[in-house]
Amino acid sequence: MSELFPDYRATWETDAHRDLRKHAAEFLRKESTPNQERWAAQHAVDREFWNKLGDAGLLGLDLPEEYGGAGGDFGFSAVVAEELALAHDTSTGWIVHSPIVAHYINTYANDEQRQRWLPGIINGEKVLAIAMTEPGTGSDLQAVKTTAIRDGDHYVINGSKTFISNGTHCDLLVIVAKTDPSQGAAGVSLIVAETDEKLKGFERGRVLEKVGQHGQDTRELFFSDMRVPVANLLGAQEGLGFYQLMEQLARERLIIASLCAGLAESAVLEAIKYTKEREAFGRPLIKFQHNKFELAELKAEALSIKTTVDYCIQSYIDGNNDPATASMAKLIAADKAVDVVDRCVQFFGGYGYMMEYPIARAYAAARVNKIYGGTSEIMKEIISRSL
């Protein structure tokens, strides 16, 4: 149940989704919220937190039951994404692990690969990351320069990646690489590296100092003649990687939109709470007409984000994996959430600029949602093609 909108219920939300929401909220407020400042200081969540997420059943929500998953629909992931924001979590790379990379493996892996990887992914023993972005390549994924050249039963991988979430803890890394550099998009493949101490030629670079999300282990990664078995290729053949990426991007954009909906709602809740407690000139801030009107508008904005995202989630659950619809969800949710959080900061005065306050961490974390998963400009380009 939404604290800001207690009578609201999305069309896709069942009793199972509501039970999950309650469970996730209780777990995250106990295990995540109190640790945000410490995780920010160490630039990573505790490795054991991933095992706790697995024990709580929050890592395999829409993965098959035969591997330990819950077998749910996309709405299960959307619920947890919202609750992460409502718990003021700006550290956990859950979105990368569970609704994004795990789905790549479940969708494109063969039976042997699923048997080998999915149980550990679901119980938290294997943390996931995906290596797309390179120092000179962002949204144009067909321009990646990392190569994976076959040598017998192995690929020899050379290149570098940057902005890799879960870069410190990842045990399984999906690498976007060129298996045939002469073929452009048709030469891109996805290859899974098992990044244990036996993997030679793999180096985790520096932890990147970001504007926000300081507790998330975002790093550079380097591959130097790194040998990965050909058996770790995702898909029936080489050259499918670009198309696999394009097929999954709608899902990635929807989960980011879900997080943004939770982010906006959380910011408004914090602002309402603070303006009821903080006094100026002998009365609570919320008693001033300007503040009341501003909060009323912000609540309406948060609801508009929520309903837009929920409409798009319902469409996805119904089987309409439409890139334009997902792009509209991300465009609206990311852009509007940044604005809502920014306006909520203003109620806090100087305290809104202090990182010990959740609203400040939300402000710093929100901006990147207009960039990763495809920039707002890319979203407009995709939407424009449907006009």
1 in a structural domain? no
122 and 134 within one domain? no
Mean pLDDT along residues 334-352: 97
More confident residue, 372 or 339: 339
308 and 186 within one domain? no
CATH classification of the domain holding 84: 1.10.540.10
- Please check the confidence at residue 139 and state whether its pLDDT lies above 70: no
- Please check the confidence at residue 152 and state whether its pLDDT lies above 70: yes
352 and 218 within one domain? no
- List, for residues 15-70, the tens digit of each pLDDT value: 999 999 999 999 999 999 999 999 999 999 999 999 999 999 999 999 999 999 99
- List, for residues 188-204, the tens digit of each pLDDT value: 999 999 998 889 999 99
360 in a structural domain? yes
- ∠ CA 246-251-257 to the nearest 5 degrees? 125
CATH classification of the domain holding 215: 2.40.110.10
**pTM surpassing 0.85?**
yes
- Distance separating alpha carbons of residues 86 and 22, to the nearest angstrom: 12
- List, for residues 107-137, the tens digit of each pLDDT value: 999 999 999 999 999 999 999 999 999 987 7
246 and 223 within one domain? no
Residue 297 a catalytic site member? no
* DSSP character at residue 137: B
State in Å, rounded, how far the first CA of the chain is from the last one. 36
Mean pLDDT along residues 90-108: 96
* Structural domain containing residue 334: 242-385
CA distances from 365 to 89, 124, 211, 342, 358 (A): 10, 25, 7, 11, 10
7 in a structural domain? no
272 and 246 within one domain? yes
Render the burial of 140-176: b for 16+ CB within 10 Å, e for the rest: ebbebebbbeeeeebbbbbbbbbbbbbbbbbbbbbbb
At residue 142, the pLDDT reads 74
Mean confidence (pLDDT) of the chain: 95
191 and 218 within one domain? yes
2 in a structural domain? no
- Tell me which residue of 283, 267, 291, 281 sits closest to 345, measured CA to CA: 267
- List, for residues 270-326, the tens digit of each pLDDT value: 999 999 999 999 999 999 999 999 999 999 999 999 999 999 999 999 998 889 999
81 and 21 within one domain? yes
8 in a structural domain? no
134 and 108 within one domain? no
Which residues, 6+ apart, have CB-to-CB distance to 305 below 8 Å?
Answer: 260, 261, 264, 332, 333, 336, 337, 340
pLDDT exceeding 90 applies to what percent of the chain? 92
Query: Are the CB atoms for 350 and 46 separated by under 8 Å?
Result: no
215 in a structural domain? yes
261 and 188 within one domain? no
The residue annotated as part of the active site, out of 82, 83, 238, 252, is 252
At residue 321, the pLDDT reads 81
- ∠ CA 232-237-241 to the nearest 5 degrees? 80
Token pair listed for 73: 């629909």
169 in a structural domain? yes
Which neighbouring-strand residues pair with 148? 157
Mean pLDDT along residues 71-81: 97
Structure-token match 């045990």, residue found: 171
Mean pLDDT along residues 161-183: 95
Of 207, 239, 271, the one marking the end of a domain is 239
- Please check the confidence at residue 178 and state whether its pLDDT lies above 80: yes
- Distance separating alpha carbons of residues 371 and 369, to the nearest angstrom: 5
At residue 2, the pLDDT reads 83
147 and 98 within one domain? no
Of 74, 95, 126, the one marking the end of a domain is 126
At residue 197, the pLDDT reads 86
- List, for residues 202-223, the tens digit of each pLDDT value: 999 999 999 999 999 999 999 9
- Distance separating alpha carbons of residues 354 and 372, to the nearest angstrom: 25
At residue 138, the pLDDT reads 63
CATH classification of the domain holding 317: 1.20.140.10
pLDDT exceeding 70 applies to what percent of the chain? 99
4 in a structural domain? no
Q: How many domains does the chain have?
A: 3
* DSSP character at residue 163: E
Of 103, 126, 149, the one marking the end of a domain is 126
195 and 159 within one domain? yes
- Tell me which residue of 291, 300, 293, 254 sits closest to 73, measured CA to CA: 254
Helix (H, G, I), strand (E, B) or coil at 90: coil
